Amino acid sequence: MLVRKFKAAVIAAAAVASVAAVATPAEAGSCSRGGRAYVCEYGVTSYKLPNSTKQEFVVGTDRAVWTRWTDSDGDWSKWISMGGRASSTAYAYDYDTSDAWSFRVFYYDERGEYWGRNRDHDGNWSPWTHYDTPLNG
């Protein structure tokens, strides 16, 4: 429990620090990855799943979080919008250490508020939820 809270606190501190330093999407440069335009300054977040497949997240120029993943052969899916209104990198972390398939994707909005979506063991996503802090999940 203490390790999980420490891990989340470190990630959250880095994310909060980056919110103040990044450009807004209107001012930011646009990059492309796998055919999807995204805000360069927010970068690409990768999350490795237990079966060695990967899932990537970017913040599109529309400020929505976009995702794609590899299959067992390493082929990439098409990009899918997860929605949202991000003003920071889309981060991913293991909020539930009891299940390696469950994790949270989160971002900070233009007011610095924390929003997250949780992935369950079967790959289903919760709706975007506003959290008071990254630790209450």
**CA gap 99, 121 in Å, rounded:** 7
Q: What is the pLDDT along the chain (137 residues), one digit of tens a residue?
A: 434 443 444 444 444 444 433 444 445 588 999 889 999 999 999 999 999 999 999 999 999 999 999 999 999 999 999 999 999 999 999 988 899 999 999 999 999 999 999 999 999 999 999 998 665 44
**CA gap 5, 70 in Å, rounded:** 29
